[in-house]
Amino acid sequence: MLSLTEENYLKAIYHLSDGGSKAVLTNELAEAMSTKAASVTDMIKKLSAKEVITYEKYYGVNITAQGKSEALMVIRKHRLWETFLVDKLGFAWDEVHEVAEQLEHINSPRLIEKLDEFLGYPKVDPHGDPIPDHKGKIKIIPQVPVDQLAIGYQGKIAAVKDSDSNLLKYLDKIGARPGVKIKVLGKEEYDDSMEILIDDHRVFISKAVSQNILVVG
């Protein structure tokens, strides 16, 4: 049984390790959790005792199979709740992250199964991110941020990073939503800004923005 705080740490470790494929350093985690390295070291010991991560002093943490499964359940809950808020309650996609951060900690397996059913077993959340199924299986879609694309690329927006509400508001304004057509027209060397076509509308975006729009790789 993990506490709310432990769940949040584990989720951050899952994301920072790219789903368990690399080790996470203390300072990285401190940054992600908006806390101090000393606090992270303490928490790492607890999570390690609960066997959801392995930990070697000074070398960072790795998530275990059990930890991965627990992290995926939290992510499943988060993304199902976001879908509920947008599809059923009429929230805008830029308003749901904070609330879902709370709802993801509600502990009731039955509730989540019922919610999943009620939503019609959605495969992705409103930001385009895949929703793990009830067994914790997640379909990882290799995603590339737009700032790494070459001129001439054509495709569809797969997802957008969902952390910042102001960014999402802006993306919504320029029409950058999952599923929408996108084409790279040009790149500006000196500031890494880009000229792109979103659903046939020409827009100029800064690097801060292009990094947060993801296409299928």
Partner DNA sequence: GTATATTTTTAGATTAGTCTAAAAAATAAT
Partner DNA sequence: ATTATTTTTTAGACTAATCTAAAAATATAC
Does 132 help bind DNA (rule: CB under 7 A)? no
Does 90 help bind its own copies (rule: CB under 8 A)? yes
Q: Which stretch binds DNA (CB under 7 A): 55-63, 141-149, 177-185, 199-207?
A: 55-63
Residue number with CB closer to DNA (48 or 165): 48
CB of 100 to its own copies, least distance (A): 10
Does 51 help bind DNA (rule: CB under 7 A)? no
Question: Pick from DNA, its own copies, none: which does 151 bind, CB < 5 to 8 A by kind?
Answer: none
Question: Pick from DNA, its own copies, none: which does 211 bind, CB < 5 to 8 A by kind?
Answer: none
Does 5 help bind DNA (rule: CB under 7 A)? yes
Through-space distance between the first and last CA atoms of the chain, rounded to whole angstroms: 37
Residue number with CB closer to its own copies (88 or 156): 88
When binding is defined by CB under 7 A, the residue of 20, 60, 67, 128 that contacts DNA is 60
Distance CA 33, CA 192 (A): 29
Residue number with CB closer to its own copies (61 or 103): 103
3-state secondary structure the chain: CCCHHHHHHHHHHHHHCCCCCCCECHHHHHHHCCCCHHHHHHHHHHHHHCCCEEEECCCEEEECHHHHHHHHHHHHHHHHHHHHHHHCCCCCHHHCHHHHHHHCCCCCHHHHHHHHHHCCCCCECCCCCECCCCCCCCCCCCEEEHHHCCCCCEEEEEEECCCCHHHHHHHHHCCCCCCCEEEEEEECCCCCCEEEEECCEEEEECHHHHCCEEEEC
- Restricted to residues 174-213, the positions that interact with its own copies (CB under 8 A) are none
Does 126 help bind DNA (rule: CB under 7 A)? no
How large is the C-alpha radius of gyration of the chain?
Answer: 19
Distance CA 128, CA 178 (A): 6
Does 4 help bind DNA (rule: CB under 7 A)? yes
Question: Pick from its own copies, DNA, none: which does 102 bind, CB < 5 to 8 A by kind?
Answer: its own copies
Residues in contact with DNA, shown as a per-residue x/- string from 28 to 47 under the rule CB under 7 A = x----x-xxxxxxxxxxxx-
Residues in contact with its own copies, shown as a per-residue x/- string from 91 to 120 under the rule CB under 8 A = x---x--xx--xx--xxx-xx--xx-xx--
